[in-house]
Structure 1
């Protein structure tokens, strides 16, 4: 079985493994596929300090705000060009009733967040606040509708309230609430994790529910819906098969996939986000690479029913999930963010980019203060994590033309187990510049990558690198710049080839002019 998994990982990335510290890379110019910017999406659930205390802060907090939206957070996310933001969940979505979050805030009913800590929510952050946030961010909203405890009419009304440009009781209500013009929200998730917290449904039952809900979620002028069906949990291939067969490609824009990288592989004790050694690091990277197998196998099933690849694979929950930081609320899912997390992010994004013919959208879990966060806040303080900087380095791929790669790479071995040490993405932007992003997972060895370009002319190379002394190094409020991208001088032109000296445990971004 292990040999088969290694084969799938190798075949999917166009890789071949051999035991040495050099690699060869060929970049071709024969693809018409585009790496969708929506692969770089983010997730903001009503969970812990993700919304309240993250995006939405107390009016007395001494930071720049628009209403109660924190603007230093907004500006940091604008810098990395996040393309979409998924809300309100997650498991929270299937207990959320949108009417509770509109209208005058003092009149909004309070609710219990039964999934995450049992805290009371005052619903001061609702639909209008979320869409104002998306406008400030310059990103598209992605709304997850309530299928688990909601109704068909509830979702239908929400779509009409946001998207109908005409006269109706719901549009009159929207006008009363300060927004006469429609919001034109295109991305809609029809339920979340319906196999679990969203209803514990069978795929057959969910498929029927999806068809019913989707039938009454209407397209209005300038707002054709991109409906995303709840897809499988990790390796539940039967769920994908059933949904593709029973829903059919013509009824959905996308099918979701959720997969979290657990350092231990054990949900009851996932491992620490800060105190870990090489064994936990190696196992985390090994588990991260399972994303390649999942995307490959689910895509193959989708190809049976949708050979033209019209349905997007939407990996709208992914990232590292560890034990919470000691002393914090276990329901708030707060963890730190290390160089290991950055290497997981880089590797996962490379996998998505290399499957851009099918993977059209994704969302890291989560944006602020929860799980593998881009940003951590503490009252007025704000901290950018190593994962944030990976998204900053990788933004060059957004909407760029994918360039196929063939990589012969060495293996990183630990206690008799092996994984491929290097992974890579190549693309060409609208200005003709070629970008490479590489991750070296080997904790010890520099790897020399000799790169050949097919039908691609270039003259000069510049780059940035993200690395640190230890894989468990983190940024803190006291030392916020331990892990930041720095100028990379380890790439040079030798004849027609590019030679890259990839440092151990590092992410590198290169631009060829």
Structure 2
């Protein structure tokens, strides 16, 4: 039987064991009032841009080389269902404010062609329209998020679109829908009222857009009596806090459910740097820009808290991701870029930020799904591959609709010259399967990070997966589609309520903890 002195020595030994070499310390502390990490944080974005829609999602009903369902690639559908994507934003982006939805309904041979002035100046034949997109969302088992045309469209046009897709009774628009082959409405919940109104959506001031929003939102009627439309206002460009302040002051709560925010991890808008052969300095600057998302979310949320202390209006980050120069030899307007381990770092860090602010961030959309910017899927003819970003999203899906476990983190810094950002980010949740999940990211490209975690209570077991590679600039391509993929992780040691994790350089780790 141990005496008091021996017990004290054991406690001191255990404390010393967990503190030795620990560079980062994390403490989990469940809150009294639970917060759910909305699954809609894990949304995606599909714009009529480059090869995202055509040659990405859609290969045409007459294609005999690629297996498809009504023109939509079956391999893409399977891959996105594996991610459990909760929503998909369409048709833009900048394209949304030049898109007239009636051009994309009815017999395809009779649909008018337009020029995509924003993205490459290519001719758009409108063969992929409202029915095609909403039917595809049913295949994907995901909710559609439609971005309405406010920049060049009229109020009646947007009101008609809502009626066309949502009204079950007799009306001019619902009758037109039936004429075009769809009896039941799709019941679309999520609606963007314009896009980037401060820029490609009309170069408006915040004050002017607020009035325009009120007008358009008023005539977007809903007849389902199931809680109404989820109207999302075109929000700020990165650190434009005046825009958020103005919208929160001027928009009535009965007309708005969410306010958007757009921010990309970019080194310099005039010199974005390459997607693959980036320098160490360019890597650091990309990570610094990605980490800036944390400050943006906190500062925009603080403004929203002044006017909406009960957090009834969501912050919707419906465009985020890395943005680099296009791949050599590709159309500059198509925004096709390769996806390396740097992109996995952006994805893991950003999703941790969103999770940790789940009381205000209720929805987000990675830009974009296929062949554009930080894509989760790349296609080339009959071939399709998934990217490092895809694998992060798949690993993190355990957080969807789970209960957030707040945490405090004291991280070692990732330093470049005289600048520094945290090397480690993390988020935690308790899922409906009873397990506690912990996601950890080490963005340092050269150093392991030893992390000591106080779990707050004892657990009986731990397992996990890691995403990393031999080189930071590694990527999956059509000749080596599985070069980067998750694998089992054995770098954690559990001692009841203490967890020690050794994170490899540039890695994403997701751990599952079993209750006692």
Residue 61 of structure 1 and its aligned partner are, at CA, apart by: 4.8
Q: 1:340 corresponds to which residue? A: 342
Secondary structure of the corresponding residue to residue 270 of structure 1? coil
Deviations 1:179-230 (A, max 9, x none): 1111100000000000000001011110000000000000111562000000
RMSD between aligned residues: 1.4
1:437 to 436, 439, 449: 439
Residue 416 of structure 1 and its aligned partner are, at CA, apart by: 2.5
Distance 1:128 1:457 in 2: 51
Distance 1:306 1:113 in 2: 39
Q: 1:306 corresponds to which residue? A: 308
Q: 1:326 corresponds to which residue? A: 328
Q: 2:23 corresponds to which residue? A: 22
Deviations 1:341-366 (A, max 9, x none): 00000000000000000000000000
**The 10-residue stretch of structure 1 (492-501 or 459-468) with the greater mean CA deviation from structure 2:** 492-501
Q: 2:511 corresponds to which residue? A: 510
Residue 268 of structure 1 and its aligned partner are, at CA, apart by: 1.7
Q: Map residues 7-406 of structure 1 onto 2, 5 A cutoff.
A: 22-30=23-31, 31-58=33-60, 59-221=62-224, 224-262=228-266, 264=267, 266-406=268-408
Deviations 1:352-387 (A, max 9, x none): 000000000000000000000000000100010000
Is the 1:248–1:305 Cα contact (8 Å) retained in structure 2? no
Distance 2:105 2:503 in 1: 51
Distance 2:105 2:402 in 1: 38
Distance 2:383 2:36 in 1: 38
Distance 1:23 1:194 in 2: 42
Residue 495 of structure 1 and its aligned partner are, at CA, apart by: 4.3
**The 10-residue stretch of structure 1 (217-226 or 500-509) with the greater mean CA deviation from structure 2:** 217-226
Secondary structure of the corresponding residue to residue 308 of structure 1? coil
Is the 2:458–2:498 Cα contact (8 Å) retained in structure 1? no
Q: 1:14 corresponds to which residue? A: none
Distance 1:356 1:102 in 2: 37
Residue 469 of structure 1 and its aligned partner are, at CA, apart by: 1.7
Distance 1:21 1:402 in 2: 25
Deviations 1:267-303 (A, max 9, x none): 1210000111211111111111000010000000001
Secondary structure of the corresponding residue to residue 460 of structure 2? coil
**The 10-residue stretch of structure 1 (27-36 or 140-149) with the greater mean CA deviation from structure 2:** 27-36
Secondary structure of the corresponding residue to residue 62 of structure 1? coil
Secondary structure of the corresponding residue to residue 50 of structure 1? coil
Distance 1:25 1:203 in 2: 40
Is the 1:184–1:222 Cα contact (8 Å) retained in structure 2? no
Is the 2:22–2:452 Cα contact (8 Å) retained in structure 1? no
Secondary structure of the corresponding residue to residue 500 of structure 1? strand
Distance 1:300 1:95 in 2: 33
Residue 420 of structure 1 and its aligned partner are, at CA, apart by: 0.7
State the number of aligned residues.
Answer: 493
Distance 1:368 1:462 in 2: 31
Secondary structure of the corresponding residue to residue 359 of structure 2? coil
Secondary structure of the corresponding residue to residue 489 of structure 1? coil
Secondary structure of the corresponding residue to residue 331 of structure 1? helix
The structure having more radius of gyration, on CA atoms, is 2
Q: TM-score normalized by structure 1?
A: 0.94
Distance 2:212 2:51 in 1: 32
Distance 1:368 1:113 in 2: 18
Deviations 1:8-43 (A, max 9, x none): xxxxxxxxxxxx862111112225000000000000
Deviations 1:299-331 (A, max 9, x none): 000011101000000000000000000000000
Distance 1:473 1:416 in 2: 27
Distance 1:276 1:212 in 2: 46
Deviations 1:124-179 (A, max 9, x none): 10000000110010000000000000000000000001111101111111111111
1:413 to 405, 412, 415: 415
- Structure 2: stretches of 5+ with no match in the other structure: 1-20
Deviations 1:209-266 (A, max 9, x none): 000000000011156200000010000000001111011333200000000111x2x2
**The 10-residue stretch of structure 1 (496-505 or 88-97) with the greater mean CA deviation from structure 2:** 496-505
Distance 2:203 2:416 in 1: 39
Residue 482 of structure 1 and its aligned partner are, at CA, apart by: 1.3
